[in-house]
Amino acid sequence: MSKKRIMFVCIHNSARSQMCEAFVRHYASDRFEVHSSGIEAGNLNPLVVKAMEEIGISMKGQYAKPAKEYIDRGEAFDYVVTVCDESNAERCPMFPGRSERMHWGFPDPSALQGTDEQKLAGIRPIRDDIHQKVKKWLAEN
């Protein structure tokens, strides 16, 4: 049985899409080949990495990638999931082939203000919401 391919897309591929990728890889790498990318690639948010490490999820080897790279290579996915706000989700490029498109909107960790500790405190509930959404979706698929 071949693995289903899933792509998580966000604006910069620095936080939300990366967390989704890490959770799917952690829980279901036997069933899914998971990727993430950004409308415009930024840099992986180190506070997101730290928040994920707090709950034992590694993001080792993950880095921000532009969606255009996948599209230019002609890569197709069974599922394409946008995780930014709805107005930015509409900017999500079309990937080759037929894919089921879904939108899971989550707040943007890069919009958080304050010290690193305050930002980390704001990232944790976003991480936990993403965690629950991914686990629920995996249980149904």
Alpha-carbon gap, residue 70 to 94, rounded angstroms:
10
Beta-bridge partner residues of 35: 7
Q: Report helix angle 16-28 to 46-54, nearest 10.
A: 30
User: CB–CB of 30/59 below 8 Å?
Assistant: no
pTM attached to this predicted model: 0.92
Classified as helix, coil or strand, 118 is: helix
Classified as helix, coil or strand, 19 is: helix
Active site members = 10, 84, 92
> What pLDDT does 96 receive?
74
Encode the chain (141 residues) as per-residue pLDDT tens digits: 689 999 999 888 999 999 999 999 999 999 999 999 998 888 999 999 999 999 999 999 999 999 999 999 999 999 999 897 665 556 666 677 788 889 898 999 988 999 999 999 999 999 999 999 999 999 999
> What pLDDT does 41 receive?
80
> What pLDDT does 11 receive?
84
Q: What 3 state SS string does 40-64 have?
A: CCCCCCHHHHHHHHHCCCCCCCCCC
> What pLDDT does 1 receive?
66
